[in-house]
Structure 1
Amino acid sequence: MGYVTWWAVVSSGAAPVLLIGGSTTATVLEGPSYNPVRQTISVLAAGGPSGYWTLTLMLVALGVCHLATACGLRAASLAGRLALGAGGISAMVLALFPAPRTGGSFSHGTVVAIGFTLLALWPVLASDRRAVAPWGLRPVPSLTATGLMVLGAGWFLTELAVHGAAGVAERVVTVLQSIWPVVVVVSCLRHARRA
């Protein structure tokens, strides 16, 4: 049994491309009424039908990618794989609860919080304390990734509270969360070549 399957390589690489490409496409479709610095990605789904469908498809595809990566990342511990897969399911569920045009939504906020927490914790939960583990699954890089994601969440909440650059903060955190699986998969591939 290998460290990682071929489909996890594809799905982990596709996740950040889908996230960045989907949100950028929805931003362009929304036009000048949307401010990507101050407004969150979720607001794009509350705009017109083009933004809604673009973002909905992106969330479902992103969720499928995280779920596939979790299934194929054999070197990671079960707890981490379950957290990553559940984070992917949260992204798909989020498509069912779009943000309203104005104001907040308890259901949307709850799904976002659960999904973020799962995707922030999966690196630590997936870590392997053995010295022979792939680099991306070792405790220090895993703790660092989770720590950066938690700090990013704090930055996002601060920007949201002061009506600042919440859109920028959210994008930084979500891109980090979508890139970390790629880092882990690449480290598993490199580790397998050396072994």
Structure 2
Amino acid sequence: MIKRWAVASATLAPVALIGGWTVAAARRPDEFDQVRDTISALAAIGAHERWVMTAGIAVTGVCHLVTAAGLTGARPAGRVLLAAGGVASVLVAALPLPVAGHAPAAGVAFGALSAWPLFARTPGSRAAGVVLLAALAGFGVTLSQDAYVGLAERVLAGAQVLWPAATAWYLVRDR
């Protein structure tokens, strides 16, 4: 079960995040390397037109909160983790690099958004949780090696923002 408005928010989230990083990076073609540089660099203090990525991250976080509230077909523990990922995402937007709270907020967001499917108990959620946690581990490796960080982050963040949408559309179709 799912509320129809939650389908709209789950659908908006990938548009906001992926659209945000695409537009923000396009506005900085000479300065930004999507394979090397993080999404947060697009919203960092002093970044050219940082409002684009900041808005994308904030809207995505709010969408996760709304989706969690309306995703009644998922177990409460999964919904709480999805909501926690949404709150942490809003904090990521509110605490841009190099603000000290940015990294912990991003860590909570990435962790919660990777783990929520394991607790949601919706169709395909266990497999999605395993894939998201593997992508999170891969991102951690790239951070420690300082190689392909931007690419690994986009793979992880893209998968994390698409899974709630896939779940919402499946549940509304199954109604």
Q: In percent, how many aligned pairs have the same letter? A: 36
Q: 1:186 aligns with which of 141, 145, 169?
A: 169
Structure 1 unpaired stretches of 5+: 128-136
Deviations 1:76-119 (A, max 9, x none): 1111111111111111111121122xxxx652111111111111
Higher gyration radius (CA): 1
Aligned to 1:148: 131
Aligned to 2:68: 70
Please report the TM-score for the alignment, with normalisation by the length of structure 1. 0.84
* Contact map agreement 2:91 2:102 (CA 8 A) in 1: no
- Mapped to 2, the partners of 1:19 and 1:108 lie a distance apart of 17
Aligned to 1:110: 104
Aligned to 1:9: 7
* Contact map agreement 2:20 2:56 (CA 8 A) in 1: yes
* Contact map agreement 2:111 2:136 (CA 8 A) in 1: no
1:122 positional shift: 0.9
- Mapped to 2, the partners of 1:35 and 1:41 lie a distance apart of 10
- Mapped to 2, the partners of 1:124 and 1:151 lie a distance apart of 13
1:48 positional shift: 4.0
Q: Is residue 2:136 matched to residue 1:171?
A: no
Please report the TM-score for the alignment, with normalisation by the length of structure 2. 0.93
Structure 2 unpaired stretches of 5+: none
* Contact map agreement 1:15 1:66 (CA 8 A) in 2: yes
Letter in 1 for 2:165: V
SS class of match (2:30): helix
* Contact map agreement 1:76 1:126 (CA 8 A) in 2: yes
- Mapped to 1, the partners of 2:111 and 2:46 lie a distance apart of 29
Aligned to 1:26: 24
- Mapped to 1, the partners of 2:48 and 2:12 lie a distance apart of 22
Aligned to 1:122: 116
- Mapped to 1, the partners of 2:33 and 2:60 lie a distance apart of 23
Letter in 2 for 1:21: G
